[in-house]
Amino acid sequence: MKNIQLLFSFLIVLLSLESCAQKQSSNKQIAQNASGSVEKTDEEWKKELTEEQYYVLRQKGTEAPYTGKLLMNKEKGVYKCAACGNELFTDDMKFDSHCGWPSFDKEIKGGKIKTVTDNSHGMQRTEIMCAKCGGHLGHLFDDGPTETGQRYCVNSVSLDFVSEKELATEKKNQPKLDTLVVGGGCFWCVEAVYEMLEGVKSVESGYSGGTDKNTTYEDVCSGASGHAEVAQIVYDPSVTSLEEVLEVFFTVHDPTTLNRQGNDIGTQYRSVIFYKDLNQKQIATKIINDLNKANAYPSKIVTAVEPFNFFIRAEEYHQDYYAQNKQKGYCRLVIQPKIEKFEKVFANKKKKN
């Protein structure tokens, strides 16, 4: 019994000593999940799509020729996948093929469409699918009349059209976003907390503060690169102010330990705010001064306020690390308490969904 207790305490010590740098596990599966592909169950697709869309996009059906509402569309704009919004074609790629389905002579570059051989109906054809969600679009033929020689024959029902006018309005109505880069120890923790803050549109884990633009996680972990592990936070200042973003920062990490957060030790774990303009610099400095004056911590704040130079996005398996690895020791023991603290202190600023 005693032995079991001993072993248990030993395990606890082991787990508590776990640090960010020690966790360099390979995460093939996470990289795949983070590649931006959309995966849904059949039931979910059924709920989201109309009956006809489901039949064509998910069951590889074909709409009747000359019935699609985009067949004769000549407006300027973008054609997107009706299931996932992936931008596939633009108006200048469309031509009148007289085949009964919207036809395009090329696709928007970037691997947005994937092709597979389709041997159904006693023919050998090239099926085209949305590379993001796998939705069936139609077929690709090499009998196009333009210089590309190609004809993307697409079901109208597989497409959503957004006109140039609508695109312009969409852009105008988009909120003006701001970006802040902060380092508060292991970036997995910082990213996980900011993902929950209302008004935050995106958070990326990465490196900043050093000089090498081709740095890697291993370089940064060595502590010699000058880079700090950081989170780049893109947020809507009309929902959450810079002051609030920084308030969260000073609540969920310890700004009084120089080059250290818990067991993560080294300049790469320094507490730092990278300001992009005078406003960010002044507000960050004022908050630090105010907190020091109020003796908010047992010792003085050591957070550095440094000019922002550039940001390098970290390797894919670092993105959304907490969300993907909730069961791992470091996540449960180090990140989870920070999340809980955030939830307690900023209950009214937590994202609703």
Residues assigned a catalytic role: 153, 186
Question: Using CB under 5 A, which residues numbered 209 to 248 contact Zn ion?
Answer: none
SS (H, E, C) 206-248: EEECCCCCCCCHHHHHCCCCCCEEEEEEEECCCCCCHHHHHHH
C-alpha 60/C-alpha 92 separation (Å) is 26
Nearer to Zn ion, 133 or 304 (CB): 133
325 closest CA partner among 179, 214, 186:
186
Is 40 or 106 the residue whose CB approaches Zn ion more closely?
A: 40
Q: Whole-angstrom Cα distance, residue 24 to residue 120?
A: 46
How far apart CA 169 and CA 164 sit, in angstroms, is 9
The answer to whether residues 94 and 161 touch, using CB atoms and an 8 Å cutoff, is no
Closest approach of Cβ 199 to Zn ion, in Å? 28
**Whole-angstrom Cα distance, residue 71 to residue 73?**
6
d(CA 225, CA 314): 14
The two tokens of residue 331 are 């996540």
Does position 86 bind Zn ion by CB under 5 A?
Answer: yes
| 32 versus 289: smaller Cβ distance to Zn ion | 32
Question: Of 78 and 83, which CB lies nearer to Zn ion in the complex structure?
Answer: 83
Query: Cβ contacts of residue 260 below 8 Å, gap of 6+?
Result: 185, 266, 269
Q: How far is CA 268 from the centre of its chain?
A: 23
Q: How far is the CB of 9 from Zn ion (least distance, A)?
A: 52
Taking CB under 5 A as the binding criterion, the range among 40-48, 122-130, 222-230, 336-344 that sits at the site for Zn ion is: 122-130
Q: Which of 51, 54, 95, 55 is nearest to 73 (CA)?
A: 95
Residue type, 169: T
Rounded Cα–Cα distance for residues 224 and 198 (Å): 35
**From residue 66 to residue 85, what is the string marking binding to Zn ion with x (rule CB under 5 A)?**
---------------x-xx-
Q: Which is nearer to Zn ion, 80 or 94 (CB)?
A: 80
Matching residue, tokens 């610099």: 281
Nearer to Zn ion, 71 or 133 (CB): 133
Q: How far is the CB of 82 from Zn ion (least distance, A)?
A: 8
Smallest distance, Zn ion to C-beta of residue 189, A: 34
As measured in angstroms, the least distance from the Cβ of 81 to Zn ion is 3
To Zn ion, the closest distance from the beta carbon of 320 in angstroms equals: 21
Residue 71: what residue type?
Answer: L
Residues in 124-143 at the binding interface with Zn ion, rule: CB under 5 A = 130, 132-133, 135
The tokens of 167 are what? 């695109």
Tokens of residue 273, six digits? 């705010």
Minimum distance from residue 130 beta carbon to Zn ion (Å):
3
CA–CA separation, 279 and 242 (whole Å): 10
Provide the token pair at 88. 């596939």
Number of residues that bind Zn ion (CB under 5 A): 8
233 to 100, 102, 178, 311: CA distances (angstroms): 47, 41, 8, 11
Residue numbers of the site for Zn ion (CB under 5 A)? 81, 83-84, 86, 130, 132-133, 135
